[in-house]
Structure 1
């Protein structure tokens, strides 16, 4: 979805996100790469929530998967970006280059599905993303999902990546407010098990019923 410009951002090129209404925000690559630029408090809290075999959808460079593996938790990352997957593997995180909606190993047997860093908004369709997460879970499993604290409802817009020398194609993305959690969970057959503020961010645990 992000394409070559996303890969180049991971390799160090300065990039940003432009919304179709003119808003521009920095692409938070340093936090995705982990280490000094990461939100360590958030990462620790999210990893603590992951129980049993965990699959991270849209894992990026794999910082959360690497942390899980270091703790002895079986984990797998999934991402479309070849650069992201290579970075994940180089950090010790098992990762597949694949669309999250394509067939994935262990479907119906994962204890935890992880959707961090706004990935519930992939494709501008959070219901589709959460339905996919629910398909991957075993009975009694959970989906650990980051939501947005800055908005109410679901904000679907067209966005694109830009750099000083390249403008990427438009694609749909959704920002999903934490107020939407009960309704979204019910629509995809999950139940809200808990809501967890972490600094300025928030994560919900959605259990398979």
Structure 2
């Protein structure tokens, strides 16, 4: 089984979810990449204005891929959408369930409900990096997506960025996860990788220091 975000080793992600701590994403052998601070407390908090504006770009049914504790699923439900989250982290799914958020403990590459019928797919908080292979992830999104739906992707500010690498997650106490594959991608690289699967960008924008792209099936 491919190692996943923050799992294995000393399980820092699971502990950070319990205390709203911070994590450090530490690349190994990735020129140009730097360690990134990840605020798990924000993932567990209510959606902010930027999150809500992203939700409003889509419609239901909405699937949040790598949903963590379920903040964006809650936001979508608040907006009146049918929504579901998926995550491979049992700890994150447990937090979501405790808050009454509908989340499946599953990989995006598993057989999922509503195959080919989702109107909105979310890949936020760096989740285009899931599995360290954006092309494989985008191919799967094309399969899940309705012919008239959209994929909303949070991307790097530099449009040309396209990096894959192994990394670890380190908690506040210095304890680290097992190594796992991850990726970073900008809008131009996203468009290039999405094209073979019939997806193309129709909009790119930045808000409050975060950058996003909207992909749709090309006619």
- Normalising to structure 2: TM-score of the pair? 0.87
The whole-number CA distance in structure 1 between the counterparts of 2:22 and 2:150 is: 35
* 8 Å CA contact 1:41, 1:198 repeated in 2: no
SS in 2 for 1:158: strand
* 8 Å CA contact 2:22, 2:41 repeated in 1: no
Task: Show structure 1 runs of 4+ deviating over 4 A.
Answer: none
Aligned residue number for residue 205 of structure 1: 214
Aligned residue number for residue 54 of structure 1: 62
Is 1:44 aligned to residue 55 of structure 2?
Answer: no
When residues 47 and 135 of structure 1 are mapped into structure 2, their CA distance, relative to the original with a 3 A threshold, is same
Aligned residue number for residue 91 of structure 2: 83
- Normalising to structure 1: TM-score of the pair? 0.91
Q: Give the CA RMSD over aligned residues.
A: 1.8
The whole-number CA distance in structure 2 between the counterparts of 1:201 and 1:15 is: 19
> What per-residue deviation string (whole Å, max 9, x for no partner) do you get for residues 9-44 of structure 1?
111255322111494332221221123xx6x23211
What aligned pairs does 1:164-203 form with structure 2 within 5 A after superposition? 164=173, 166-203=175-212
Structure with more relative contact order (C-alpha pairs < 8 Å, separation 6 or more): 2
What aligned pairs does 1:34-183 form with structure 2 within 5 A after superposition? 34-35=45-46, 40-150=48-158, 152-163=160-171, 164=173, 166-183=175-192
State the Cα distance separating 1:93 from its structure 2 match: 2.0
When residues 151 and 111 of structure 1 are mapped into structure 2, their CA distance, relative to the original with a 3 A threshold, is closer
The whole-number CA distance in structure 1 between the counterparts of 2:74 and 2:159 is: 30
Q: What is the number of equivalent residue pairs in this alignment?
A: 206
Which consecutive unaligned segments of at least 5 residues does structure 1 have?
none
Aligned residue number for residue 17 of structure 2: 10
State the Cα distance separating 1:153 from its structure 2 match: 2.6
Which consecutive unaligned segments of at least 5 residues does structure 2 have?
none
